[in-house]
Structure 1
């Protein structure tokens, strides 16, 4: 790295999905917007905080559209591009679709970053699009105060394969496909406190495409899917609970964490986004009375390019989680159950 050049993370006040507006702030902003006009072909809009919009073209085809972008959470420009692209494409997989093309979204402080670094960001994004089998077909760029990169992504699927964050059924089991702790790791990066092997672990997780979502959506025993990103497993789990009008019970001992996440959380590497997340939805979460604050903040930790949270029929869950692990997601686990009750989350030990 050129030591005369600023670190990417130094140019941004936040990073990754930790840049997201807090859930409570977002709800207030959207509450003042007019309701979308009723279009019969709009199967999924923004009414239940789903991962992407879905428009039905005909009896066999739906178009899935999403956009996602953020500021750097790592200093390597190529890695930043890869992470941002994988995160954006994930929304299509979370809806059960297959991506077909992407458009780049780029905002860079041109007077602070060398063109070579900006090019490496774009190269990283294009490399992940290549892994997904899609082109970067265009895009838009501006000169901005902070570095921003992401994608608008278009996908397709059969109407029967659309999976929303609602639709979970009482008795379902919950599968999480990736480990938790990305926000903790990114906080440690800013303070030069993340061990090298943990950085490699983080890059491996955040650049792992959620392709398995397309396969899962073809299984009728899978009732609901969402990806776990900026609001943490609690925030996105709560969206699933509210959209399904049910209670989610998460078993703390079963939730997979990145190898250094718990230790770093105990050492205080907590993001501001975790605090904002908890302030937004903590009243809907039932915790063990003896849970320490660091553990609570870890469950609210923003996940950039996180895994999928999947509600599946109980009798199919063991076979399905084995299938997910074999597909290349070694930390996939059954992490809880869906129950009748007031929409919310109960954390069990």
Structure 2
């Protein structure tokens, strides 16, 4: 849908979650910012790099609020809208909530792309919101040098069902619900080098709603949730380690990958964001001495609309994994464990 003579991906300096500020720069910018303050009902603010803010109401219901937007990583406007909407709504699911409505955020380079393409982007986003069962109830638009689209999303959950990235426990197992490789696929799309069948696989994973997070949050054996996006698998795992003050061990061979991810990474289809992510981790992430560079790039690969990282009781991990797979996440896998120790990641 939404074909045009203008390639949307070429109008952006970096597409999808690959255009996020790298984690090191962001931490520096936020270091001197005041915390959200002593608001008793603010259960989750900006103190733990979590996925969304959570506010408690009188009756035990919580309001979850988030926003996410980025530049195109694909050339089809309708698909861009769908991916951006899926990615934004994911933050609600990652907190254990259920989305109830969204507002559109739109920035378009007037004169560079047609109104028809913009309409397709908005239609794509609205179609995905309809799939999630929520309306696009309003929004805001401006003229920008690059195309930008995303959503502000509001959700709800019960107070006891809030799941943060800061509550992982030593002894937990780690489950990843979606395969890695979205960033290297994006790099191949930009260079028109994605193998046959790769685009359909790319769209399938980036538009699969993480609604399983709502169900997982009702299980007391699920202790922590976060979604894996622009900072890469290792970056978001490191946020979980720091928030929970635990050590994370990742079994590299267990991490699921998109079908062409290894071949593309070996051929050099990596993003600048992948390199920036790795540089930002510093000594907090250790790899085996013989770890291949292409494998490292996949672990640092920026994921647009990636999966959930689930920290759960080890004795229930297989059952929880089966639940996730039955919900449509066929490649979900147990990828590591939580140990007592400093907030670092060891890849083995």
TM-score by length of 1: 0.98
CA distance in 1, matches of 2:260, 2:91: 27
Q: Retained in 1: the 8 A contact 2:181–2:303? A: yes
State how 1:278-293 maps to structure 2 within 5 Å: 278-293=278-293
CA distance in 2, matches of 1:264, 1:184: 7
Shift of 1:4: 7.4
CA distance in 1, matches of 2:37, 2:323: 40
Shift of 1:2: 9.3
3-state SS, counterpart of residue 165 of structure 1? coil
Number of aligned residue pairs: give it: 348
RMSD: 1.1
CA distance in 2, matches of 1:167, 1:65: 20
Aligned to 1:314: 314
State how 1:33-72 maps to structure 2 within 5 Å: 33-72=33-72
Shift of 1:180: 0.2
CA distance in 2, matches of 1:24, 1:285: 13
Aligned to 1:211: 211
Aligned to 2:187: 187
When structure 1 is superposed on structure 2, of 28-37 and 240-249 the one drifting more is 28-37
Distance change (3 Å), C-alpha of 1:108 and 1:259: same
3-state SS, counterpart of residue 10 of structure 1? helix
Shift of 1:312: 0.3
CA distance in 1, matches of 2:165, 2:59: 22
Distance change (3 Å), C-alpha of 1:104 and 1:340: same
3-state SS, counterpart of residue 197 of structure 2? helix
Shift of 1:58: 1.8
Unaligned 5+ runs, structure 2: none
State how 1:226-237 maps to structure 2 within 5 Å: 226-237=226-237
CA distance in 2, matches of 1:162, 1:2: 38
CA distance in 2, matches of 1:217, 1:4: 42
State how 1:209-288 maps to structure 2 within 5 Å: 209-288=209-288
Shift of 1:346: 0.7
CA distance in 2, matches of 1:52, 1:222: 18
Aligned to 1:118: 118
Q: Retained in 2: the 8 A contact 1:54–1:65? A: yes
Aligned to 2:296: 296
TM-score by length of 2: 0.98
Unaligned 5+ runs, structure 1: none
CA distance in 2, matches of 1:59, 1:288: 50
Aligned to 1:80: 80
Shift of 1:36: 2.1
CA distance in 2, matches of 1:35, 1:83: 31
Aligned to 2:143: 143
3-state SS, counterpart of residue 233 of structure 2? helix
Q: Retained in 2: the 8 A contact 1:52–1:95? A: yes
Q: Retained in 1: the 8 A contact 2:88–2:151? A: yes
